Structure 1
């Protein structure tokens, strides 16, 4: 995962650690990853198999959609507007 640009952080369950705070919020939490993985599996299920070569693209797209969901629909619509904006032809 780190080779694809996803940082890897851990918690130490045997030591009684289940979350690690950072900057005022729970930065590392096992439930966060389990919830994300569950949503990802449900989202990938209809595709019925993905090649390993394309897996990073699917993961990146799902991560983007998941993060936009937290920030509101305004970010998604503004991002799409930038992507589909027509550029004027040079004279």
Structure 2
């Protein structure tokens, strides 16, 4: 999950069923939050769970929508799609990552994104995290 312009949370789930994803969402997302998803049916219950929900239908070639006609296409999942693209590109050279090691790679990538720092500037926050 990613907050537009904000933090990301990466968590490997055992499966993508409602019973698995609901506790993850309710733990990390405040009730009443506006959520944006693709058309995957697992998200159909978001409003029942207390969230405002809008989706785009990639299956119908819809990738962004301007519901209020103000010229800004606010209904999209491009933020998350872009994040996954960066993650896949970063993981590509690390071929053959085991299932046991993958959470470490994902955790590091999440940390780097959330720190908002690149290059040598990342060293101090990383050391601080490791020694606390």
TM-score of the superposed pair, with normalisation by structure 1: 0.54
Using the TM superposition, give the Cα deviation of residue 76 of structure 1 relative to its aligned residue in structure 2, in angstroms.
4.8
Instruction: Provide the C-alpha distance between the structure 2 equivalents of 1:6 and 1:58, rounded to a whole number of angstroms.
Output: 20
Instruction: Provide the C-alpha distance between the structure 1 equivalents of 2:87 and 2:95, rounded to a whole number of angstroms.
Output: 13
Runs of 4+ in 1 over 3 A off after TM superposition: 1-10, 16-19, 71-76, 81-85
What are structure 1's unaligned runs of at least 5 residues?
20-27, 86-91
Using the TM superposition, give the Cα deviation of residue 78 of structure 1 relative to its aligned residue in structure 2, in angstroms.
3.9
For residue 47 of structure 1, what is the aligned residue in structure 2?
A: 94
Describe the shift of the 1:13–1:78 C-alpha distance in structure 2 as closer, same or farther (beyond 3 A).
closer
Describe the shift of the 1:6–1:38 C-alpha distance in structure 2 as closer, same or farther (beyond 3 A).
farther
Paired positions, count: 75
For residue 13 of structure 1, what is the aligned residue in structure 2?
A: 56
For residue 65 of structure 1, what is the aligned residue in structure 2?
A: 112
Instruction: Report the structure, 1 or 2, having the larger helix content.
Output: 1
Describe the shift of the 1:78–1:3 C-alpha distance in structure 2 as closer, same or farther (beyond 3 A).
same
TM-score of the superposed pair, with normalisation by structure 2: 0.40
Contact 2:56/2:64 (8 A) holds in 1: yes
Q: Which has the higher contact order (CA 8 A, sep 6+)?
A: 2
For residue 56 of structure 1, what is the aligned residue in structure 2?
A: 103
1:3 to 13, 37, 44: 13
What are structure 2's unaligned runs of at least 5 residues?
1-10, 15-22, 30-34, 38-54, 66-74
